[in-house]
Chains A and B, each alone.
Chain A
Amino acid sequence: MTIRFVLMVNKQGQTRLAQYYEYLTIDQRRALEGEIVRKCLARSDQQCSFVEHRNYKIVYRRYASLFFLVGVDNDENELAILEFIHLLVETMDRHFGNVCELDIMFHLEKAHFMLEEMVMNGCIVETNKSNILAPIQLMDKAS
Chain B
Amino acid sequence: MGSQGGFGQSKEFLDLVKSIGEARSRAEEDRIVLHEIETLKRRIIEPDIPKRKMKEFIIRLVYVEMLGHDASFGYIHAVKMTHDDNILLKRTGYLAVTLFLNEDHDLIILIVNTIQKDLKSDNYLVVSAALNAVCRLINEETIPAVLPQVVDLLNHPKDAVKKKAVMALHRFYQQSPSSVSHLVSNFRKKLSDNDPSVMGAALCPLYDLIMIDANSYKDLVGSFVSILKQVAERRLPKSYDYHQMPAPFIQIRLLKILALLGSGDKHASEQMYTVLGDLIRKADASSNIGNAVLYESVCCASAIHPNAKLLEAAADAISKFLKSDSHNLRYMGIDALGRLIKLSPEVAEQHQLAVIDCLEDPDDTLKRKTFELLFKMTKSSNVEVIVDRMIDYMISINDSHYKTDIASRCVELAEQFAPSNQWFIQTMNKVFEHAGDLVNIKVAHNLMRLIAEGFGEDDDTADGQLRLFAVESYLRIIGEPKLPSTFLQVICWVLGEYGIAYGKYSASYITGKLCDVAEAYSTDDTVKAYALTAIMKIYAIEKGAGRKVDMLPECQSLIEELSASHSTDLQQRAYELQAVIGLDSQAVESILPFDASCEDIEVDKGLSFLNGYVQQAIENGAQPYVSENQHSGALSICNFGGQTHHEASTHGLRFEAYEVPKPVEQPKPTLVSHVLSTELVPVSEQSYTREVQQATSVRSLADAGSNEIKLRLDGVQKKWGRPNYSSPPSTSSSSSLNAVNGVSQHDGAGTVSLNFRDNTYNYKKQQQVEIDPEKQKLAASLFGGISKAEKRPSSTSHKSSKASSHVIEKSQETKSVVETTPPPPPPDLLDLGEPVNTGDSSSVIDPFTQLEGLLEGPAASSANNSSTFSSTKESDLLSLGDVMTTPSGFMDSLSKDDDLLSASSNASNDNGHAQQSQGSKGPNLKDALQKDARVRQMGVTPTSQNPNLFKDLFG
Contact = CB atoms under 8 A, between A and B. Distances in A.
Contacts of B164: 120
Given A15-B67, A108-B63, A127-B242, A50 B92 contact: no
B2 A125 contact: no
Contact of A100 (B88, B132, B329, B950): B950
Given A80-B252, A96-B2, A15 B171 contact: no
Given A52-B365, A97-B2, A130-B239, A135 B160 contact: yes
Nearest to A118: B249
A73 B128 CA distance: 27
B568 interface: no
B167 A121 contact: yes
B69 A102 contact: no
Contact of B249 (A46, A84, A95, A106): A84
Contacts of B86: 142-143
B154 to A, nearest CB: 15
A36 interface: no
Contact of A64 (B1, B89, B99, B951): B951
Contacts of A26: 65, 68-70
User: Chain B CB within 10 Å — which of A10, A13, A86 has the most?
Assistant: A86
B14 interface: yes
Contacts of B20: 14, 105
A98 B927 contact: yes
B447 to A, nearest CB: 27
Nearest to A98: B927
A48 B949 contact: no
Contacts of B59: 108-109
A120 B132 contact: yes
Interface string B204-226: 10010000000000000000000
A27 B923 CA distance: 37
Contacts of B171: 120-121
A91 B219 CA distance: 37
Interface in B895-952: 914, 917, 921, 923-924, 927-928, 931, 935, 948-952
B799 interface: no
B95 interface: yes
Given A97-B2, A126-B163, A79 B63 contact: no
A113 B66 contact: no
Interface stretch (B285-293, B576-584, B743-751, B757-765): B285-293
Nearest to A127: B249
Given A50-B365, A112-B95, A23 B102 contact: yes
A50 B328 contact: yes
Contacts of B14: 106
Contacts of B366: 47-48
A91 to B, nearest CB: 11
B9 interface: yes
B86 to A, nearest CB: 6
B562 to A, nearest CB: 41
A93 B365 contact: no
Contacts of B207: 1
B762 to A, nearest CB: 26
A79 B295 contact: yes
Contacts of A93: 921, 953-954
A55 B927 CA distance: 42
Nearest to A131: B197
B88 A89 contact: no
A14 B92 CA distance: 23
A48 B197 contact: no
Contacts of B680: none
B780 interface: no
B682 interface: no
Contacts of A48: 327-328, 331, 363, 365-366
B948 A98 contact: no
B2 A128 contact: no
Interface string B825-842: 000000000000000000
A123 B206 CA distance: 12
Interface stretch (B21-29, B477-485, B516-524, B801-809): B21-29
Interface in A67-106: 77-80, 82-84, 86-87, 89, 93, 95-103, 105-106
Considering residues A30, A97, A123, A143, which has the most beta carbons from chain B within 10 angstroms of its beta carbon? Answer: A123
B242 A14 contact: no
Given A64-B955, A89-B953, A113 B327 contact: no
Contacts of B197: 125-126, 128, 131
A87 B248 CA distance: 11
B240 A127 contact: yes
Interface in A28-49: 29-30, 43, 46-49
B370 to A, nearest CB: 11
A49 B366 CA distance: 10
A139 to B, nearest CB: 5
A113 B59 CA distance: 13
Given A82-B288, A109-B95, A142 B87 contact: yes
A98 B160 contact: no
A78 B935 CA distance: 37
A97 B1 contact: yes
B132 A98 contact: no
Interface string B707-743: 0000000000000000000000000000000000000
A83 B402 contact: no
Nearest to B6: A106
B91 to A, nearest CB: 7
B346 interface: no
Nearest to A59: B328
B615 interface: no
A48 B369 CA distance: 11
Given A11-B948, A102-B4, A125 B200 contact: yes
B17 interface: yes
B882 interface: no
Nearest to A25: B102
Interface in B345-366: 362-366
A125 B365 CA distance: 28
Given A63-B954, A108-B59, A98 B2 contact: yes
Contacts of A105: 17, 20-21
B368 A52 contact: yes
A80 B249 contact: yes
A98 to B, nearest CB: 5
Given A97-B1, A97-B2, A98-B928, A23 B401 contact: no
B21 A135 contact: no
Most chain A CB atoms below 10 A, which of B21, B26, B59, B256 = B21
B184 interface: no
A106 B448 CA distance: 63
B592 interface: no
18 contacts: A1-B256, A30-B68, A46-B363, A47-B362, A47-B363, A50-B328, A64-B948, A79-B291, A82-B292, A93-B954, A101-B949, A102-B935, A102-B949, A120-B170, A120-B171, A121-B174, A143-B88, A143-B89
10 A-B pairs with least C-beta separation? A97-B2, A79-B292, A65-B948, A23-B102, A30-B68, A63-B953, A80-B292, A123-B204, A47-B363, A120-B167
Given A46-B363, A64-B955, A131-B160, 5 more contacts: A78-B331, A79-B291, A126-B200, A138-B125, A142-B125
